[in-house]
Amino acid sequence: MTIVDNPYEKVRRKMVAARIEFLGQLAKINKSELKKRPADGEWSPIELANHLYITDGLALEQLKLVQSEDNPMVVATEEEAPRMTNASEPPASLEAVLGGMAARREEIFEYLSTLSPESWERPFRHNTWGQRKFYQLVNVLPLHDQMHAQQLTAIKDKDGKA
């Protein structure tokens, strides 16, 4: 008998590691740099954290959509999440954003933990990616965290040279 890895446990490890990477980079940013935008049109470190909070909320909606409908067309989160971030109110404080990020990520974990292994194979459509499977959508989340962790590293490196 073949033992199938639990897809939730596999992705959870990736998601936790990527979020820790982001938070580790955010911790290197001092208080005076938190709200400083590196350039016009770019987000400050606190806005990047708020963006992850917003993205997790949008992602959870889309994950639930894939599980509740047959082969749905999902929102292009790579377009919608930045639009929602730009339209949002500035975060009240770093503590508020971090609390929100933790709560949203926990909601995602709670939801994913309830899914059967077969659920991870459910299909969806995306206007750019084409036909995909649920697990591929979930795996975008740790990649997204890593991308923004690298952005924080670049911001800190740029500040250190300024």
pLDDT in tens, the chain (162 residues): 444 578 999 999 999 999 999 999 999 999 999 999 999 989 999 999 999 999 999 999 999 999 999 999 999 888 999 999 999 998 989 999 999 999 999 999 999 999 999 999 999 999 999 999 999 999 999 999 999 999 999 998 876 654
Would 143 be classed as within a structural domain?
yes
Would 102 be classed as within a structural domain?
yes
Per-residue model confidence (pLDDT) at position 4: 55
Helix, strand or coil, per DSSP, at residue 72: coil
**CATH code: domain of residue 53:** 1.20.120.450
Would 41 be classed as within a structural domain?
no
Would 138 be classed as within a structural domain?
yes
* Residue-number span of the structural domain to which 115 is assigned: 10-28+47-161
Would 36 be classed as within a structural domain?
no
Looking at the structure of the chain, the number of domains it has is 1
Would 106 be classed as within a structural domain?
yes
Helix, strand or coil, per DSSP, at residue 87: helix
CB atoms under 10 Å from CB of 121, counted, come to: 11
The number of angstroms, rounded, from the C-alpha of 29 to the middle of its chain's C-alpha atoms is 20
Structure tokens at 54: 């917003």
Four-CA torsion 43, 47, 52, 55, nearest 10 degrees: -80
